[in-house]
Amino acid sequence: MKKYKSGDIGKEDQELLEKYINDGVIELEDIEDLHELHQSIELEEREASPELRSGVYQLISNEKQKMSQPRLLDALTSWMDNLFTSNSYRLAYSITILLVGGFVGWLIAPTGKYNEELSSLNGELREMKAIIMISMLENSSASERLKGVTIGYELGADAKVIEALINTLNYDDNVNVRLAALEALEPYASNSEVRMGLVTSIKYQDSPMVQLSLAELMVRLQDKNAVKEFQELINTKDIEPEVKAGIEENLNLII
């Protein structure tokens, strides 16, 4: 310390001094001149202007509005309402009636394969729904496609369904349909194939909303593979600076 005070401090002593500080042997306050210097740095305290305050509160209320917009669960309930009106559902309805009729027929027939028939019927019903879903996803109307995604969300862990959802995520024209597909896939993201599909999907995405939602999902999943894909995306595509910043921010949150 005395050497330091006399100003005549060599390199090793400097390093020793730093080590003492690091280990807490010497506190910064003990080094008087530096401590005084540190104390004399004054920062001008700033207060928020009314504009800033109102700007931030506006951000909050905008986000609140976004949050209250219809989401998949609401779409599910409105799906129930559509049960009797939409054409595709009429189709599903009539097929179901046919199947039920067939089932009753089997009941009457003198065979002992009751349980087998029931489960194969269930399987057929699911198959039917999957087929309907896939046909709806090819419909020219975006709202029909959206309903299709909803069915997919309900059907879930079927490879065909997942594949269809991923294709929708990658290739559907309509941003809202793509976002719904992403939402529908999220619960199954623990499945490694779904994961892979999502990560590969990154490079196909042009819409900033989908890019950001994907990035956010990756943060929730803490998927490191996504980081590489996103970086490539940033480098190869023309992205708006705000979105780029958003993606990079998310990437930073993936440790």
Contact residues toward other proteins (CB under 8 A) are: 17-18, 21-24, 27-28, 31, 33-34, 37-38, 40-49, 51-53, 55-57, 59-60, 63-64, 67, 212, 216, 219-220, 245-246, 249-250, 252-253
Work out how close the CB of 35 gets to other proteins at its nearest, in angstroms, rounded to a whole number. Answer: 8
The least CB distance from residue 14 to other proteins, in Å, is 9
> By C-beta, is 18 or 193 nearer to other proteins?
18
Q: What is the DSSP string of the chain?
A: -HHHHTT---HHHHHHHHHHHHHTSS-GGGSHHHHHHHHH---------HHHHHHHHHHHHHHHHHHTS--HHHHHHHHHHHTTT-HHHHHHHHHHHHHHHHHHHHHHSS-S-HHHHHHHHHHHHHHHHHHHHHHHHT-SSHHHHHHHHHHHHHH-S-HHHHHHHHHHHHH-S-HHHHHHHHHHHGGGTTSHHHHHHHHHHGGG---HHHHHHHHHHHHHHT-HHHHHHHHHHHHHS---HHHHHHHHHHHHH--
Nearest residue (CB) to other proteins, 35 versus 126: 35
> Please, which residue, 4 or 106, has the CB nearer to other proteins?
4
Min CB(219)–other proteins separation in Å: 5
Q: Report the nearest approach of other proteins to the CB of residue 195 (Å).
A: 18
- Closer to other proteins at the Cβ: 46 or 109? 46
